[in-house]
Amino acid sequence: MFNLIGYLNSPHLVANFQKIFGIEPTFESKSSNVSKVPLNLSPKIKKRSPLRKEQSKNNEITTNNQTKHKRNSSNPKKLVNITDHNHLIANTLIHNRFWYYFFHLGAAMGNEIFYCLFFPFWFWNVDGAIARKVAFLWGMFMYVGQATKDILCMPRPASPPVVKLEERYIAEYGFPSTHAMVSAGLPISLLVLSYSRYNIDLPISIGMVVSFCCWVCCSRLYLGMHSILDVVAGVLYSILVLILVMPILEPIDHFILEHHFSPLVVFTCGYLICHFYPSLKQWSTARGDTAIIIGSVIGFSIGSFLNNKFGFLHKPDEPPLYDIHFPTAIGYLLGILRTILGLILLLCTRQFFKKFLLKFLCHINRMDHKNSENKKEKKIELPYNYLTYFAIGVNTAFTFPFLFRLLKIERDYSYTEL
């Protein structure tokens, strides 16, 4: 058993996976001369710059590993001097552009931008009842996974031989993979809850769940951020959480919607579990990301409570199962309008609360809000992220659907989701 665990945790398996999909790393010691490998376009630059044909004749993109890029404005080709934690310079040739973008997109399915699009879209255009329950489970996956990482403190795959192509999460630990937890737990919970409410094609739905999970999990291997053990453990961990939480999900949802003191209880509990998050040996994005996720979930919950409290929610005329009816052309246009308007307002909400809360929290703690290092302090980072995304959650579930109703662009069945 221990031999199997050690085998699955081997960084050489990850390096071989990267090699299969066209990643060719070269490592040199810090003291040696820098390898003269040109960096045509880094991942960040590629997103905003067109590829030049003369730079891509061989379908090779040269990228770097783990640190900021040095720019040379006089030369369109960049020379990279990248040092990793082992004091090695890493230059990376990407031989297959398709897999590069494919797996980067897969990794984005577990990042903030995906959640900021997925949950509002589901609340405004699909089914709020399923959205709030899936959001609760999402919060469970992420909190349990992130906390486990910072308790076990198991490092990410060693580099070399692995090349890490993603910088944001390098400071976090690796086991278990929270991307893998969400890639399995989120679609499975969505499938189970939808299957109990709608007539859906089960084989096709299962195929979509498996495909999504494999895509995201493989992206973590491609980017060099996790071992196979991290990914497998993440998938199994999310299934365990589902088995434990699913039986009590309906009673929890009923309490949140119906009990007079549920807003106070869930808000306080949400903040406390963030406050007692495991102490970090070194700062990483884990605690802030956890506060963001829990704040969003609590916001969704209290927003749903307000919908019910003001009498907006009522049971549908017929019990499930319901047939899925696709919208008309006008329905599609209204859905696009709701999504665009809502996302713009969410962005405004985010910017307002981030600026206001940062200045306010730094003021009461007598700290300089212009110093970015102060945002890493727990007394700033925790309420700053928690309250900002709590406001976003409330607006997503309550304020903006109410605005859509006033503008007469709401979903026909928006409030039939008890």
Residues assigned a catalytic role: 179, 226
Compute CA distances 202 → 83, 243, 348, whole Å.
Answer: 49, 20, 39
Q: 207: which 2 tokens? A: 């195929």
Structure token pair of residue 376: 């890493």
CA distance 269 to 275: 10
Q: What are the tokens at 216?
A: 């995201």
Closest-CA residue to 292 (of 106, 193, 146, 104): 146
Residue 149 near residue 173 (C-beta atoms within 8 A): yes
Q: Provide φ and ψ at 171, rounded to 5°.
A: -75, -15
Per-state percent for the chain, helix, strand, coil, to nearest 5: 60, 5, 35
366's torsion region: left (phi>0), alpha (psi -120 to 50) or beta?
left
E strand intervals along 182-332: none
What's the CA gap between 350 and 391, in Å, rounded? Answer: 8
**399 exposure class (CB count in 10 Å sphere: 0-12, 13-18, 19+):** middle
Q: Using CA atoms, how far apart are residues 18 and 272, in angstroms rounded to an integer?
A: 41
Query: Is 301:188 a contact under the CB 8 Å cutoff?
Result: no
Query: Strand, coil or helix: what is 131?
Result: helix
Is the Cα torsion angle 159, 160, 162, 165 positive or negative in sign? positive
Residue with tokens 């937890």: 181
- What lies within 8 Å, CB to CB, of 216 at 6+ separation is 106, 107, 109, 110, 179, 180, 182, 183
Nearest to 306 by CA among 376, 371, 400, 191: 400
